[in-house]
Structure 1
Amino acid sequence: MALPVNIENLVNGESVEWERLEFKAGWNPEEIVHTLCAFANDINNWGGGYIIIGVEEQDGRPVLPPVGLQPDQLDAIQKKIVELSHQLQPGYLPVVQPYVLMRKHILVIWVPAGDLRPYSAPSTQGGKAQRHYYIRSGTKSIIAKGPHEQRLLDLTARIPFDDRINHQAAVNDLQLGLIRDYLQEVKSDLFAESDQAPLPVLGQQMQIARGPDEFIRPLNVGLLFFNPEPHTFFGRAWIEVVIHQDDTGRNFTEKTFKGPLHKQLRDCLAYLQAVVVQERTTKVSGQAEALRYVNFPYDAIEEAVANAVYHKSYEEAKPVEIQVFPDSVQILSFPGPVAPVDNAMLQQKRIVARDYRNRRIGDFLKELRLAEGRGTGIPLIRRRMRENGSPEPTFETDPDRTYFLSVLPLHPAWLSGSNQDSNQVGNQVSNQGDSSIGPVTGSNYWELLNRFVHDFTEGGKPLDLTKPDKYRPLVEFLEPDFAAVLRACTSPKSRKVILEDTLKRTNQVKNYNRYMKPLLSAKLLARTVPDRPNSSQQKYFTTDRGHFVLKLLEKTAS
């Protein structure tokens, strides 16, 4: 049976982090058994990983199109994988499935985290092999030594709550309709087989049910996503939203979102977007285009709520609580972050967490594009707030890590209802005597960038690259995705190629508006057929202004 993932997304690292993927151009039993062992040990509770045979690797990334395997190799390799699996101690068996990718045969080995870790594997395939514990380090499998070995031993028989069998439920508590809806949405090949497969078999294939044939039981993650009322198994597993009309605490409205995790998350976000998020347009004196900003950027709210759903404990009967005040949105979940993340680490720009509470919940949310990769959530929230011109968000927990609180402050101009701040910022930039960008906020960034680039490309100002710090605000505000588009379009590219091949996103209007339209408005990107924007021959290229920005990015990054 097929795997419950989209293979193209998997190979391109869109639904699974690169550290959880290993690519092999051909059959190498010694390396593969070490990687089987490392993924099964899952020292960081990331959820195991995937070995993809028939795809060459370069610097941890796939080389496409794949080299592929011969059809007559597939059966022989699958039998050898079973033999290799028996070399692991304790016993372990991965899920193996052949696929055709770009007209080439490949073999995908899904290695979920094992229940009986630590696992050991022979160092070589020779007769004098020693046994070692293997773990993942970046995109490599290495022998666990010293503190890594001790940490692995400490994980013995410890299974994250979301990946445990629920003995109070039956496999029939998993709803086939919800499972099929999920498989269809993520475009898994398993969808076509799911209407014929018995529910216990389908549950085992998706790793949402486990046990001997006569006593198969659902896993907690299966009930959280594929039961219509997961709160009947996990107390208060829902999201509560309270919207305060004033500061008295008496005038408020409440709404509770229940159901499968992804459904309640989407319903909650749609409600917040419709009821809470508002846009304002401000006319700036001496400027043709008005500035647009929102009271609370939706992308920041989306990421903060998704983080809360992802990382809360479903062993505790406490909901995710969202309080919308006149001056902030506050998202509270229980308990706090997993050690070593503490309050001091939460104040840093980037958080390095080595362990995760809900490895399987994260996998499902990422496959549904409802959560970002590891360690990217808080930086993304900060970036979205900054782009909107909002104050810095705050994140906190207590010394015992009993809670996690995210606070998104209101945009400052929203309180006064005036455009005073925008005018002041615009005047500061236009009156500068030097060539630096000056004060920048997310709400005025594109307009200020437009003026700044014009001064140097059409206005004749000299660019002083001996002092790159003067231009560093540009680097901090221009997202890597925008820079990637500019680099890709140094030779003309179609919209489909830009969004799907360069950015690894779907060719949809929302992604065009998000990643390409701002570059067009700033004249960093241009159309090859400008008088017919919807032409089937339309392509996009980086303008001289765009090349100027790329040059600046290169200099300020060095």
Structure 2
Amino acid sequence: MPFDDRYRQSASLSDLSPYLMREFLQEIGSELAAEAGSLDVEPLGRRMNVVAGPAEMPFPKNVGLLFFNEHPAQFFPATQIDVVYFPEGPGGDRFEEKEFRGPLGRITRDAVDYIARNYLKETVLKHPDRPQAERFWNFPLAAIEEAVVNAVYHRSYEIREPVEIRITAEELVVLSFPGPDRSIRLEDLQAGKAVSRRYRNRRIGEFLKELDLTEGRSTGIPKILRVMAANGSSAPVFDTDEGRSWFLIRLPVHAGFAQMDQVTEQVTEQVAEQVSKQVTRLLGALKAGPLGTRALLGELGLNHRPTLIQNYLQPALDNGLVEMTQPDSPRSPTQKYRLTEKGRHTLAQYKTSENE
């Protein structure tokens, strides 16, 4: 039986949070969300396939404890994601560390969002021999998300080692335990041609897919390669040991960034260049009122949440053009975004410049 369909003998139905279950259904837009409020934990858990066993002795599956318990580490120690930043390099005296603990879907998103807010930088490089400026990121967000989700999806929750993300001025590294299945050759991984026929945590992958965090079809590695190339970055490195006891994804920083703390350059020659075209489209989409991420994806004609965050929302939030409707609960499923006064003013200026 796969790990995620097993159960912990020390666990009971009371360890499943109906609030987290309903929140999940609401976030993914499930039809079950409408009746979830009237269902007790057992029937709701069976409908979501996180509860099994006979009626006289039901039990929560491991996947339910990982996603719908506030403290899954009490059942599976080291269920966490550690993000460590070394401003002076691994040999320096200083480092910043943040641990993410809690339901698996939440900490996966929170870790990626934390990295996006604190360590991702974009720069604009102008060339004297051509009018087009070159934009690139130190690390593309979509590649980071795929690397983190890959680690969460394929790690063993019976090994007491967290997923670790190490960031320096030269690279971002995601380390997880154990390594890929022995049926996958390392050279195929490097080429983006590896296809796994055996999934360590298939049910975990299904929940991550519902959250738009993975496609679950061995597409993560090819996507990392593709996104890094599109950003103009050097090729990522995938590594493991002979015993397949660990797996490492190394994302090199874009060569255009000499240091992680390099200040993002802004194009300020005219109003139309004060914000990117993507941010301007976002401002226009929010003109009529606040919208959540799903509504924004539809308004902007996007399919990929990391693209919305990295190219649209994050720059707008960083520049004070957009704000959250619930700033104290950034991960709330009812979170929406609205224009600030600066955002409305910037949008008005942009429209004026277009009409002149």
Q: TM-score, normalised by structure 2?
A: 0.73
Unpaired segments of 5 or more residues in structure 1?
1-158, 418-504, 519-533, 535-558
Correspondence list, 1:109-508, <5 A: 159-247=1-89, 248-415=91-258, 506-508=297-299
- Larger Rg over CA atoms: 1
CA RMSD of aligned residues (A): 2.2
Q: CA deviation at 1:339?
A: 2.7
2:140 corresponds to which letter in structure 1? P
Task: Write the distance in 1 (CA, Å) between the matches of 2:179 and 2:249.
Answer: 11
Distance 1:366 1:268 in 2: 17
> Alpha-carbon deviation of 1:508?
3.9
Question: Does the 8 A contact of 1:335 with 1:402 survive in 2?
Answer: yes
Paired positions, count = 273
In the TM superposition, residue 214 of structure 1 has moved relative to its aligned partner by: 1.4
Letter of the 1:178 counterpart: L
- For 1:168 and 1:255, the matched residues in 2 are separated by 29
**8 Å CA contact 1:278, 1:294 repeated in 2:** yes
Task: Measure, in 2, the Cα distance between the counterparts of 1:223 and 1:346.
Answer: 31
Other-structure match for 1:45: none
In structure 1, the partner of 2:337 is none
Greater RCO (Cα-Cα under 8 Å, separation 6 or more): 2
Q: Aligned pair in 2 of structure 1 residues 281, 347: CA closer, same or farther (>3 Å)?
A: same
CA distance in 1, matches of 2:253, 2:29: 38
Name structure 2 gaps, 5 residues minimum.
261-295, 312-350, 352-356
Distance 1:372 1:508 in 2: 23
| Conserved? CA contact 1:300–1:380, under 8 Å | yes
Instruction: Determine the C-alpha separation between the residues in 2 that align with 1:295 and 1:198.
Output: 47
1:507 is paired with a residue of what secondary structure? helix
How far residue 197 of structure 1 moved from its aligned partner, in angstroms, is: 1.5
- Alpha-carbon deviation of 1:506? 4.6
1:327 Cα deviation after fit:
0.1
**Equivalent pair of 1:342/1:399 in contact (CA under 8 Å):** no
Q: CA deviation at 1:259?
A: 0.8
Q: Which residue of 1 aligns with 2:300?
A: 509
* Maintained 8 Å contact 1:179/1:226: yes
Indicate conservation of the 8 Å contact 2:124/2:136, yes or no. yes
Asked if 2 retains the 8 angstrom alpha-carbon contact of 1:165 and 1:209, the reply is no
Aligned counterparts of 1:295 and 1:226: Cα–Cα separation in 2: 34
Query: Hey, what's the Cα distance between the residues in 2 that align with 1:412 and 1:198?
Result: 54
Provide the rounded CA distance (Å) in 1 between the counterparts of 2:83 and 2:195.
Answer: 30
Q: Is the 8 A contact 1:343 1:398 kept in 2?
A: no
- 5 Å-filtered alignment, 1:25-36, equals none
User: Cα offset for 1:510?
Assistant: 7.4
Deviations 1:396-423 (A, max 9, x none): 1111110010000011121289xxxxxx
Does the residue aligned with 2:174 lie in a helix, a strand or coil? strand
Contact 2:85-2:97 within 8 A present in 1 as well: yes
Compute the displacement of 1:322 (Å). Answer: 0.5
CA–CA distance in structure 2, aligned partners of residues 360 and 232 of structure 1: 20
What's the secondary structure of 1:269's corresponding residue?
Answer: helix
SS at 1:321 equivalent:
strand
Q: Normalising by structure 1, what TM-score? A: 0.47
Deviations 1:30-60 (A, max 9, x none): xxxxxxxxxxxxxxxxxxxxxxxxxxxxxxx
1:350 deviates by 1.6
* C-alpha deviation, 1:392, in angstroms: 0.3
Is the contact between residue 385 and residue 391 of structure 1 (CA under 8 Å) also seen in structure 2? yes
Distance in 2, Cα, partners of 1:303 & 1:172:
33
Structure 1, residues 195-227: CA drift from partner, whole Å, max 9, x if none?
Answer: 112211111121101111111110000000000
Secondary structure of residue in 2 paired with 1:405: strand
Find the residue that maps to 2:208 and give its secondary structure. helix
Q: By how many angstroms is 1:373 displaced? A: 3.1
One-letter amino acid of the structure 2 residue matched with residue 165 of structure 1: Y
Work out the CA distance in 2 between the residues paired with 1:315 and 1:287.
55
Contact 1:337 1:401 in 2 (8 A): yes
Alignment partner, residue 115 of structure 1: none
Supply the AA of the counterpart residue of 1:358.
N
> 1:375 deviation in Å?
1.2
Once the two structures are superposed, residues 463-498 of structure 1 have per-residue CA deviations (whole angstroms, 9 ceiling, x without a partner) of xxxxxxxxxxxxxxxxxxxxxxxxxxxxxxxxxxxx
Which one-letter code corresponds to 2:87 in the other structure?
A: Q
| CA distance, structure 2, for counterparts of residue 165 and residue 204 of structure 1 | 14
Task: List aligned pairs for 1:33-112, cutoff 5 A.
Answer: none
Partner deviation per Cα, 1:107-127 (whole Å, 9 max, x = no partner): xxxxxxxxxxxxxxxxxxxxx
Cα–Cα, structure 1 residues 237 and 416, in superposed 2: closer, same or farther, change >3 Å?
closer
> Cα offset for 1:336?
0.6
Identity of aligned residues (%): 44
